[in-house]
A and B are shown apart, each in its own frame.
Chain A
Amino acid sequence: MSKAAELANLIGNINAGGGGVNRNVIINGAMNVAQRATSSTGIGASSGYFVCDRWRFSKGGDASDGRFTMTQDSSAPEGFANSMKLDCTTADTSIAAGEFLLISQRIEGQNMQTFAKGTSSAKPFAVSFYVKGNASATYVCELVDQDNSRQISKTFNVTTDWARIELSFPADTTGTLDDDNAKSFELFIWLHAGSTYNSGTLNSSSWASLTNANRAVGISSFFDSTARTFFITGVQLEVGQNPTEFEHEPFERTLSKCQRYFEKSYDVATAPSTASTNGWQGYDAPSGSYGRFRAEFKHTKRAVPTIVTYQHSTGASGKIYTASNGTVDSALAGIGMNRAQISKSGAALSSVSEVGCHWTADSEL
């Protein structure tokens, strides 16, 4: 993008109510943070969060076929260090009607209020990202208002070279977004869809009530061959008529944002369930106690989180180390948005004993 075009876009977006710093409502759009793992194989049986923070994968229809490996990859366009790569390992060329493969980011309603959706002052949506693949393909980017079941979709093309995709979506004066911490809005990338989702007419010009048949019309299938790959990075969603350059931010700022949704006692680069003494939390518990200690979170969670404890030297989940009794089941108390209390389960300690474990706290949408 030329500097003149960039300036024109920025001015246009400022006039439309956007622009400036903190304009990107997508978290970890540059795929720099991957607290859970940097690679996960055999994905496809169960939806969830596997590699890059905040990026959710979901697959529906036939859970028994279509598998891929997801990695945080060093292939990236100029100015970026990372991308998220999907590599098909089991093809699915018999596409059942209800099948789909999506990657998405779910956004809290309170972080979408700047778009003034559902009001007479509603703002347009500008989406941009960088993609490449093993061969030419067409996929769909969809914006969904989850509070009011409304959506709009646009196709984009992938080639073997990194390409910047810029998509402009109109404002929507229907359906306000809840001002709370729940899932109000979702940006989807459709990579595979059966006739339930692609048998109609792509709804690409204006927002409309969600009709499944109109969501992913005209896309290729990521599962058509084990040669298929898909890379994406630099994802940005902002107020405005035209996408602007990606808003880079320091690693620690992105990590901090991600920790509202997922946090761990492990070092940043160490995946949960890894055997590691770095940062494991514990203390010398008195005799007669349950070895209870507080796991203090660095950041207030979006909601009360799910806690997983890991025995630090084996990585076994649901376990805690005690010097006096070895590895035993763990127990939780007082799980809140800022801390949780972890202890051993069962009988109290019969002597002074070191007690501790690693932990994760998950409050993803």
Chain B
Amino acid sequence: MNITQAQYQAIDGDSIKDEENGSYIKATIDGTVMFVPLDPANRHYAEILKQVKEGTLTIKDAD
């Protein structure tokens, strides 16, 4: 996957990086803007974590 952007998104004031409150990562993957849940069973999230671990991708904090 070619991931060119990744940023945590807050939901109406809920804390970010909080699976219970349904936060997610907005990422551009292979040219398409996607909303990726913070679920390790999701293949896009797993790939994001992999690329972060490899040092090729940084997830920006929420605005």
Contact = CB atoms under 8 A, between A and B. Distances in A.
B52 interface: no
Contacts of A46: 1-2, 30
Contacts of A305: 37, 42
Contacts, number: 68
B43 interface: yes
A343 to B, nearest CB: 9
Interface of A: 45-48, 181-182, 273, 290, 302-309, 317-319, 330-336, 362-365
Given A309-B35, A333-B11, A335-B35, 18 more contacts: A273-B32, A302-B41, A303-B41, A303-B42, A304-B37, A306-B34, A306-B35, A307-B34, A308-B33, A308-B34, A308-B35, A318-B28, A330-B35, A331-B9, A333-B12, A333-B22, A335-B24, A363-B42
B4 to A, nearest CB: 12
A359 B36 CA distance: 13
A181 B41 contact: yes
A334 B41 CA distance: 16
A28 to B, nearest CB: 18
Nearest to A45: B2
B22 A334 contact: yes
Contacts of A319: 33
User: Chain A: interface secondary structure?
Assistant: loop
Contacts of A306: 34-37, 42-45
Contact of B35 (A45, A290, A332, A364): A332
Contacts of B2: 45-46
Nearest to B25: A306
12 contacts: A45-B2, A46-B2, A290-B12, A303-B39, A304-B37, A304-B41, A306-B45, A317-B32, A317-B33, A318-B32, A331-B9, A335-B22
B17 interface: no
Contact of B42 (A47, A48, A304, A331): A304
A308 B24 CA distance: 12
Interface in B37-63: 37, 39, 41-45
A273 B9 CA distance: 23
Nearest to A273: B32
A22 B32 CA distance: 36
B7 to A, nearest CB: 12
Nearest to B22: A334
A37 to B, nearest CB: 13
A216 B62 CA distance: 45
Contacts of A330: 35
